[in-house]
Chain A
Amino acid sequence: MDRIGVYLELKDGNVKPTNFELLTLVQQAGREVTGIMFGDDPASVLAGVAEYRVNELVHVGGLGGDGYKPEVWAANLADVIRERGLGDCLATCSAQGRDLFSRVAARLEAALVNDCTSVDLEARTATKPMYGGKVIARIRMTSDCRLYTLRPNSIIPAPAGGGGAPEVIPLKAGTVASGIEIREIVKDIADKIDLTEAKIIISGGRGMGSAESFAVLQKLAESLGAALGASRAAVDAGYATQDMQVGQTGKTVNPVLYIACGISGAVQHFAGMKTSKVIVAVNKDPEAPIFEKADYGIVGDVFEVVPLLTEEFGRALSE
């Protein structure tokens, strides 16, 4: 049986944890993996995936670092897929994975399903939420090459252990004329946790009342290693920045735990976070629709409840 191509996305030279979901998916389907990486250093990647079975690692180098160059990477990845005859390829549905795979799909005229929540490699079928998560679609692909990007936190990683180090296949990247020049990457806060990949999210709504009061959520987020999100109402009111917005016209998130603070729970917000495994609501209005969607709720003032929560989590985590 053909090997499954897995595009290994790196962050600062290291394998992102979301890749473990892809490797687990392939292992559980009983298939072998061709890992594909771009960058200078396969050693850190090999160390990163040591717990998982990767049968071979295609290392595309000679591009001067591991900074994403959209057209150059897409052309090279399309070549690797074509030349190695990979029928099915997986990536993480991140900003980079989605952009890269959509460009590759265009080049290969391949079918692509972005934002899958499950993939059946045998049936060449994937499920994905549509209409902001109001329905789940099952999509079958019938092209010679099939591409999937997987929503983070869709699969619980299960290390398969001790498969031995994969064979590394070094490839020198082909030169590609590109009309895209990357001038600069600006990071506002180093190592901020990505909302779409976060395991825990603390989110604030209009009920927070001001930008300053998000500090109370920040404290809770820090104690839990969580990312900070916001509703559209909070973003529109200027309490939170655009990149924090969760919802149908913001980010779609899929954490294990989502704590909604001062969020009433509009359908558009729910669309962006409904697949969260556990939803907690804190709101002073007992009639707020968020309580219908939450697994656990506390009716009360965010500014009383959240500091208590921070304290209590701190105590529980130190035990």
Chain B
Amino acid sequence: MNIYVCVKQVPDTEARIAPQGEGTIREEGIKWVINPYDELAVEEALRLKESQTNGEVIVVSLGPQRAQEAIRMALAMGADRALHVVCDEYLDHRLVAKALAGAIQSDGTPAMVFAGRQAIDDDAYQVHLRLAHLLGITAATDVREFAWGEGGIRVTREIEEGALEKLTLAAPAMVAVARGINTPRYPTLPNIMKAKRKEIKQLSLADVGVTEVVNHEAILDLTAPPEKAQGRVLKGEHAETVPELVRLLHDEAKAV
């Protein structure tokens, strides 16, 4: 049973993001981590494997050499081996999905594919569904519960405030997970050591069928959002500041 899990390396949520030319960011000082949603995906993949007798969890990632650190993290959590499409240039989401599909298809037939609902760098929310389409498998996004069963894959996904949708997916399926599905394990020291010896197979874009890079989405530039003017802390007794706040919200800010 081949269980694939997509992993992307992204800047830590604490990272200071400074735009520089051509839609890129300054990388100095950035701590790179595994995308937090992908960590949930890895955990879910491992739990599925542990419930089966013959499962193997294979990490699939696209990115520059430094992405290896995120891949090692997934291996240290317990994934068995990895496919790394080494790519230094910008690819749009259509091509990323094509490369990941090519990597999976060059390796084996998926029984399941997991991914995070979004990557917290470009917040694109779309590679999982594009990948599922290319693999010709069913897919569900924003998944909060997952159960593997004979009659199909049962998932619960959040659709809108206070509403959950329960689906049965024909296998194989892409399941893009959201927070709340599990609590990912921390890699233990022995597992971190073991991960260093696990195989990371490096693939070029040509190896995965992307022979020509023609992007249909191009980042023209990145800019820092406008800084907010320093706000006001209202001083005095609550009996005065609260009515003053309500007045300001109405008259000045026109928010209510």
In-complex Cβ contact of A267 among B14, B25, B256 (8 A) = B14
In-complex Cβ contact of A312 among B139, B159, B168, B243 (8 A) = B243
B85-96: contact bitstring with A at CB < 8 Å (1 yes, 0 no)?
000000011100
A246-276: contact bitstring with B at CB < 8 Å (1 yes, 0 no)?
0011101000110000000001100100110
Is B166's beta carbon under 8 Å from chain A?
yes
Which residues of A are found within 8 Å of B198, using beta-carbon distances?
A: none
In-complex Cβ contact of B220 among A102, A110, A138, A268 (8 A) = A138
B123 near A256 (CB under 8 angstroms)? no
Which residues of B are found within 8 Å of A195, using beta-carbon distances?
A: 161
Query: What distance in Å separates the Cβ of A89 from its nearest Cβ neighbour in chain B?
Result: 14
- Which of B15, B144, B179, B247 is the most central at the interface, judged by chain A CB atoms within 10 Å of its CB? B179
Query: What distance in Å separates the Cβ of B92 from its nearest Cβ neighbour in chain A?
Result: 7
Q: Considering the complex, give the chain B residue whose CB is closest to the CB of A297.
A: B233
Known: A185-B163, A304-B238. A296 touches B232 (CB 8 A): yes
Is B77's beta carbon under 8 Å from chain A?
no
Known: A249-B36, A257-B249. A184 touches B94 (CB 8 A): no
Which residues of B are found within 8 Å of A291, using beta-carbon distances?
A: 231, 233
Is A109's beta carbon under 8 Å from chain B?
yes
B166 near A185 (CB under 8 angstroms)? yes
B179 near A245 (CB under 8 angstroms)? yes
Is B120's beta carbon under 8 Å from chain A?
yes
Q: How large is the interface on B (under 10, 10 to 19, 20 to 34, 35 or more residues)?
A: 35 or more
A180 near B220 (CB under 8 angstroms)? no
CA distance in complex: A125, B140 (Å): 29
Q: Considering the complex, give the chain B residue whose CB is closest to the CB of A133.
A: B225
Query: What distance in Å separates the Cβ of B25 from its nearest Cβ neighbour in chain A?
Result: 7
A296 near B216 (CB under 8 angstroms)? no
B193-224: contact bitstring with A at CB < 8 Å (1 yes, 0 no)?
00000000000000000000001111111111
Which residues of B are found within 8 Å of A200, using beta-carbon distances?
A: 255-256
B13 near A250 (CB under 8 angstroms)? no
B163 near A187 (CB under 8 angstroms)? yes
CA distance in complex: A179, B19 (Å): 43
Is B242's beta carbon under 8 Å from chain A?
yes
Is B164's beta carbon under 8 Å from chain A?
yes
- Which of B133, B168, B232 is the most central at the interface, judged by chain A CB atoms within 10 Å of its CB? B133
Query: What distance in Å separates the Cβ of A115 from its nearest Cβ neighbour in chain B?
Result: 6
Is A83's beta carbon under 8 Å from chain B?
no
CA distance in complex: A142, B142 (Å): 29
Is B147's beta carbon under 8 Å from chain A?
no
Is A32's beta carbon under 8 Å from chain B?
no
CA distance in complex: A132, B256 (Å): 27
CA distance in complex: A192, B164 (Å): 13
In-complex Cβ contact of B233 among A192, A299, A312 (8 A) = A299
Q: Considering the complex, give the chain B residue whose CB is closest to the CB of A123.
A: B220
In-complex Cβ contact of A277 among B160, B246, B255 (8 A) = B255
A137 near B161 (CB under 8 angstroms)? no
The 3 A-B pairs with the shortest beta carbon distances in the complex, nearest first, are: A179-B170, A106-B133, A242-B180
Tell me the A residues contacting B by CB distance below 8 Å: 68, 70-71, 94-96, 98-99, 102-103, 105-107, 109-115, 125, 128-143, 178-189, 192-195, 200, 224, 227, 242-243, 245, 248-250, 252, 256-257, 267-268, 271, 274-275, 277-281, 286, 291-300, 304-305, 308-309, 312-313, 316-317
Besides the contacts A193-B161, A300-B238, what 19 more A-B pairs have beta carbons closer than 8 Å? Answer: A71-B138, A102-B126, A129-B225, A131-B17, A135-B25, A138-B219, A141-B217, A142-B215, A180-B169, A185-B163, A192-B162, A224-B256, A280-B245, A286-B233, A291-B233, A293-B228, A297-B231, A298-B238, A316-B247
